Amino acid sequence: MIRSLAVLTSGGDAPGMNAAVRAVVRRALDCGVPVHGVFNGYEGLVAGGDSIRLLGWQDVGGILPRGGTFLGTARSERFRLPEGRRAAVANLVERGIGALVVIGGDGSLMGAHVLASEWPEHLASLGLEEAPEALQVIGLPGSIDNDLFGTDMSIGADTALNHIVQAIDDLSSTAASHQRTFVLETMGRHCGYLALMGSLAGGASWVLVPEEELELRWHQKMVRSLRKSREIGRPHQMVVVAEGARHPDGLPIRAEEIRRILCEQLAIDVRITVLGHVQRGGSPTAFDRILATRLGVAAVDLLVKEPPGKLRHMLGLQKNRVTATPLAEVVEQSRRVAQEIENGSYGKAQELRGESFTRGLELVKTLSRIEPAEKSQGEGGVGILTGGADAPGMNTAVSVAARCLLNQGIAVYGVLESFPGLIHGRLRELGWNELTGWLNRPSSELGTLRHDVREEDLAKIAENISRHGLKGLIVIGGLGSYLNVARMVENRRRFPELDIPIVVLPATIDNNLPCTEFTIGADTALNNVIQVLDKIRHTAGATRRAFVVEVMGRRSGFLALLGALASGAEKAYLPELGIRLRDLSRDVDMLQESFRSGKRMVIFLRNEEASRHYTTDFIRRLLEEESRDEFEVRTAILGHLQRGGAPSAFDRILASRMGAFAAFSLADAMEQKYTGVRVLGLQGRGIGAFDLHEALAEMDEGLTRPKNPWFLELLPVAEALAKHGPGATV
Ligand code: ATP
């Protein structure tokens, strides 16, 4: 086992780096491995002295919500030279450090690779033959650009994307008030991920990314599109440009150039917003904190498990699983895209980014059209309804699904107020232009209602399907909607009108549906939860305080567990595990020990259905009784604020991808006269379609949640990192 390790952050800072450092430090200390923090990246490694310090458990306390990196980061010219790296080796050996965790972009990972490769020769030249033969290095992807090979997402990208989406939302409202056109420049020198996904989630009128080969007269097309958009009275226009976008000849496209073209050609008021460092700043999102924590813990586990000398890898998250890729491969493949763009091989660059990038670009182009490509064929169409409780992102899914259908010449009818709307015939035709404004709206414009379809409803549903000539149905909702669709399908023999293709999209903040790792709405709710928890933590003041916070989720512990993981809450009571008396007794001891060890605030998260009798109030009274006036106890029931607000970037992208998938598979089924019922799910990176009955068979007997929710594997991680010291019982 390694004797000691060091952790550093390098290159551009990224939100979530602190969460990664916290995870590395606490997991290492828990495994009995001393850990050094290297301040200011490789510059600190070269400088040595006070720049490399042993870190304790509390040194990384309270840093989860903080942006940037508390270790500091730098670009080091000295480390680029062999003498600098030799000094770094001497500093590591002097402290008995045999392993290094580097969190940064491709340059930083390259630095780690070079250091590990040169280790033996530096040892020899320093006369340090006694030192460990090899340096173990693990890289973690820290970069807002999301341009690293070997991971679906890098630490910081989700936060940056949310900043961009928020900026597009904010600019859209001011642009609409002033009839203004905005040019928004995002980061991404060689990578259009932020610009592309920001445009998809925010609803841009035009997008320019480095990976696309533009036509010689691309700007004329852009001008034409924006002119038409103004003519038809669209309230605002937004051109999103990645800083690395290029003209066909390879020269950079500047935001100022776009502004000038639009001003001259359209004689309009155009404003530029360069988001710049705002994208790097601020508190990390739940996704970034969880990603960073998972990778940080996995890095230490690997270092502790593997025999010395083997590791020179980057850990990433692929298909929602932690994977290791050799650093050399990560750097080479990541840089290849930039190289292809430099050489003008844009097709190759896009291919390297993956199929979902190309599909995303096509989708943005479809959605930014002024009008559908095909005229409506005028013989019936598709119905869309949102069922059950509302979830953020439902509007995005409706907007994208409907526009993808309209674009193929298929009319779309919005069913108002869920299944009762279908029963009572409340449907209205949806138009292209009104749908463009729905992407970012909270809740559901169509309206939702909980209603179990009954025997007497079936004939009315059949009648309305027939009256409106519905040839297919898209249902967006939670388990109640799945069961209602199942009910309709079971009765197809009696009511042949129900024999139409149906696609069901998972949308609920509870994340309790089969065949999908994430449901539409869960990410927004999770971010709502951690924002409140961050604020609660700041209320500790001079008193010692324990908070029992109740979160939603019904019989699924997703929000409670991931909320605890992302906020550092000390305990999560989950319905999957229930609450036992002996747990409560242990938790009281843990609470007292935590306060004795110097903590001023302890947060217990309780899922609303974790136990029938050990309620939130019961736990409060129990803790109060046991506090013996040494600390205060408070409760907070977060309630509906968890569902509120505009959908997060992740939810909008998930809803857009699922909406598009639903529209294309339904159009296909209608053409093939296939009347199956498909349930969509996100598994790993891809969206797939599953048979409804097979999906329902994945649920536990009471139909309350999937049998093996993936996120339960994160429980030990959440508990281990939140306790008050190494070896402390939870
Ligand atoms: P970002 O994605 O934000 O640019 P990055 O990690 O790619 O982050 P760089 O400035 O490229 O940022 O690299 C950070 C540091 O890594 C450099 O300042 C240098 O010290 C070290 N480094 C980069 N490339 C090498 C290399 N080829 N050899 C040794 N060290 C390197």
Decide whether any atom of ligand 1 lies within 6 Å of the 10 Cβ. yes
Atom 17, ligand 1: residue with shortest CA distance? 75
Residue 394 reports pLDDT greater than 90: yes
Atom 23, ligand 1: residue with shortest CA distance? 107
Q: Please state the three-class secondary structure of 384-411 as a single string.
A: EEECCCCCCCHHHHHHHHHHHHHCCCCE
* pLDDT (tens digit per residue) in 75-107: 899 999 999 999 999 999 999 999 999 999 999
Q: How many structural domains does the chain have?
A: 4
Residues 274 and 297 in one domain: no
- What integer pLDDT is reported at residue 601 of this predicted model? 92
Whether 730 is in a domain gets the answer: no
Q: At 174, is the pLDDT very low, low, confident or very high (cuts 50, 70, 90)?
A: confident
Residue 367 structure tokens:
């959605």
User: Which among 267-276, 465-474, 635-644 has the top mean pLDDT?
Assistant: 465-474
How high does pLDDT run on average in the chain?
94
Which helix H or strand E contains 7, and what residues bound it?
Answer: strand 5-9
Residue 158 reports pLDDT greater than 80: yes
Residues 225 and 255 in one domain: yes
- What integer pLDDT is reported at residue 597 of this predicted model? 87
Dist. CA 397–CA 394, nearest whole Å: 5
Dist. CA 511–CA 627, nearest whole Å: 35
Residues 191 and 263 in one domain: yes
* pLDDT (tens digit per residue) in 420-455: 999 999 999 999 999 998 999 999 999 999 999 999
Residues 201 and 173 in one domain: yes
499 closest CA partner among 517, 513, 485, 479: 485
**Range of 267's domain?**
158-280
Residues 29 and 114 in one domain: yes
CATH no. for residue 143? 3.40.50.450
Residues 317 and 399 in one domain: no
Atom 31, ligand 1: residue with shortest CA distance? 111
Distance 108 CA to ligand 1 centre (A): 4
Residues 485 and 527 in one domain: no
Decide whether any atom of ligand 1 lies within 6 Å of the 472 Cβ. no
Decide whether any atom of ligand 1 lies within 6 Å of the 111 Cβ. yes
Distance 107 CA to ligand 1 centre (A): 3
Dist. CA 99–CA 91, nearest whole Å: 13
Which of 17, 89, 103, 110 is the pocket-test mutation for ligand 1 (most atoms within 8 Å of CB)? 110
Distance 8 CA to ligand 1 centre (A): 13
Residues 610 and 680 in one domain: no
Q: At 729, is the pLDDT very low, low, confident or very high (cuts 50, 70, 90)?
A: low
Dist. CA 411–CA 276, nearest whole Å: 42
Whether 148 is in a domain gets the answer: yes
Span 606-614, mean pLDDT?
97
Dist. CA 119–CA 638, nearest whole Å: 53
Residues 513 and 660 in one domain: yes
CATH no. for residue 542? 3.40.50.460
Span 55-72, mean pLDDT?
95
Distance 11 CA to ligand 1 centre (A): 6
486: amino acid identity, one letter? A
Residue 50 reports pLDDT greater than 80: yes
Q: Which of 134-138, 545-549, 710-714, 723-727 has the lowest mean pLDDT?
A: 723-727
Residues 36 and 145 in one domain: yes
Catalytic sites, residue numbers: 145
Residue 591 structure tokens:
């609470």
Atom 11, ligand 1: residue with shortest CA distance? 107
Q: At 685, is the pLDDT very low, low, confident or very high (cuts 50, 70, 90)?
A: low
Which of 250, 280, 310 is at the close of a domain? Answer: 280
Residues 186 and 162 in one domain: yes
